[in-house]
Amino acid sequence: MDHVHSADGPEDCYGCRLKSLAIGLPKDFSSRTRSKAPPRTPRNSWEKGIARDERGMPIIRPDLSEVSVKQYAQERHSIEENRRRAQQGILPTS
Ligand SMILES: [Zn+2]
């Protein structure tokens, strides 16, 4: 009697009967049997480590990559200088 139980299995197989019954169960049943909560994902930019300016816009390098909070702390001076120049219409020099 070694087989994979399925709803299409033999009528007299208890495992197959269970499978066919499970198909008709409401959704919250399967969610209860699922293993706990989904993996935690970063919910905001701070948790993802992306630096943002005072308007909440991600700080973007000239090559359009996002600047992490760590990088921003390390390169704050040059980033601020480039942003100031950009606001004055001067292209970044780096
Ligand atoms: Zn079976």
Query: Which residues does 50 contact at the CB level (< 8 Å), separation at least 6?
Result: 58, 59, 66, 67, 68, 69
Q: Among all chains, which residue has been given the structure tokens 């996002």? A: 66
pLDDT score of 62 more than 70: yes
CA distance between the termini of the chain: 72
Distance (Å) from CA 73 to ligand 1 centroid: 61
Q: What is the mean pLDDT of residues 8-13?
A: 88
Residue span of the structural domain in which 10 resides: 1-34
Q: How many domains does the chain have?
A: 2
Distance (Å) from CA 23 to ligand 1 centroid: 15
Give the confidence band of 89 by pLDDT, cuts at 50, 70, 90: confident
Question: 17 in a domain, yes or no?
Answer: yes
Instruction: Give me the pLDDT at residue 70, please.
Output: 87
Q: Do both 29 and 49 map to the same domain? A: no
Distance (Å) from CA 5 to ligand 1 centroid: 4
Question: 40 in a domain, yes or no?
Answer: no
Average pLDDT of the chain?
77
